[in-house]
């Protein structure tokens, strides 16, 4: 008898600010992603949600309070924040 191992997933928390929260209709959410996952996996999952298609092509992303690139690996429990561009005056 062969047993099949269920696919592994990981859950992360996503924080959305300003326009990004408006587009996706919430300021925070949890995402279940296939393991292994990267920041780009999380962004793709966000783009597939209603409103996510309007996210800009280039995003500033922080993982656990540190700005990262799309290829950074994610771990269960990570906090990912989409940071809108800053403007000053």
- Which pLDDT does position 84 carry in this prediction? 87
Do the Cβ atoms of 17 and 83 come closer than 8 Å?
yes
Domains and CATH numbers, the chain: 9-83 (3.10.20.30)
pLDDT tens, residue by residue, 57-78: 999 999 999 999 999 999 999 9
Q: How many CB atoms lie within 10 A of CB 28?
A: 13
Q: What are phi and psi of 83, to 5 degrees?
A: -105, 120
Would strands 28-34 and 9-16 be described as parallel, antiparallel, or unpaired?
antiparallel
Residue corresponding to tokens 């771990």: 75
**pTM for the whole structure:** 0.86
β-bridge mates for residue 73, sequence order: 38
Closest by CA position to 42, among listed 1, 3, 64, 13: 13
Q: Residue 3's pLDDT band (boundaries 50, 70, 90)?
A: low
């Amino acid at each position: 008898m062969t047993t099949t191992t269920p696919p592994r997933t990981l859950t992360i928390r996503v924080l959305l600010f300003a326009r990004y929260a408006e587009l996706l209709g919430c300021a925070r959410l949890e995402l279940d992603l296939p393991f292994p996952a990267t920041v780009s996996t999380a962004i793709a999952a966000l783009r597939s949600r209603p409103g996510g298609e309007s996210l800009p092509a280039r995003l500033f992303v922080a993982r656990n309070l540190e700005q990262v690139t799309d290829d950074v690996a994610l771990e269960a429990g990570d906090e990912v924040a989409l940071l809108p561009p800053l403007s000053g005056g």
